[in-house]
Structure 1
Amino acid sequence: MKAARSIFALLLVLCLSLPALAAAPQWSIDPPHCQVIFTIKHVFAPVMGQFHKFDGKIFFSPEDLAASKVELTIQVDSIDTGVAARDKHLKTADFFDAARYPVIRFVSDSFTKQGKDHIVVKGRLTMKDVTRPEQIVFTYLGAKTNPMNPKQMVTGFQGEFSLDRLNYHVGSGKFYEQGVVGNKVKLYIHLELVRPK
Structure 2
Amino acid sequence: MKHWKHCLALCALALALPAHAVEFTQFQPGKSALSFVSKQMNVPVEGKFASFRSKLAFDPAKPAAAKAELEIDLASIDAGSKDANDEVASKAWFDTKSFPVAKFVATSVKPLGNNRFEVAGRMSIKGRTLDLTTPVTVRQEGNSASFEGSLTIRRADYAIGEGMWADFGTVANEVQIKFHLVATAAGK
TM-score range, shorter chain: 0.7 to 0.9
Secondary structure, aligned partner of 2:87: helix
Return the structure number with greater relative CO, CA threshold 8 A, min gap 6: 2
2:60 equivalent in structure 1: 62
1:106 equivalent in structure 2: 104
- What TM-score do the two structures reach when normalised by structure 1? 0.80
CA contact under 8 A between 2:37 and 2:45: conserved in structure 1? yes
**What amino acid is the match of 1:28?**
Q
Give the drift of 1:180. Answer: 1.4
Q: How does 1:8-47 map to 2 (within 5 A)?
A: 25-47=23-45
- Share of identical aligned residues, percent? 29
Secondary structure, aligned partner of 2:173: strand
Secondary structure, aligned partner of 1:89: helix
Give the drift of 1:24. Answer: 7.4
* 2:170 aligned with 1:180: yes
* 2:158 aligned with 1:160: no
- What TM-score do the two structures reach when normalised by structure 2? 0.84
Task: Give the direction of change, closer, same or farther, for the CA distance of 1:82–1:177 in structure 2 (3 Å limit).
Answer: closer
Matched residues, number: 169
1:53 equivalent in structure 2: 51
2:137 equivalent in structure 1: 139
Q: 2-side partners of 1:33 and 1:24: how far apart? A: 19
1:73 equivalent in structure 2: 71
**What amino acid is the match of 1:158?**
E
CA contact under 8 A between 1:176 and 1:182: conserved in structure 2? no
Give the drift of 1:136. Answer: 1.7
Q: 2-side partners of 1:63 and 1:160: how far apart? A: 23
Task: Give the direction of change, closer, same or farther, for the CA distance of 1:23–1:174 in structure 2 (3 Å limit).
Answer: farther
- For residue 116 of structure 1, the aligned residue among 111, 114, 117 is 114
Q: 1-side partners of 2:111 and 2:28: how far apart? A: 24
Q: 1-side partners of 2:119 and 2:37: how far apart? A: 21
Q: 2-side partners of 1:101 and 1:23: how far apart? A: 39
Q: 2-side partners of 1:159 and 1:170: how far apart? A: 22
2:182 equivalent in structure 1: 192
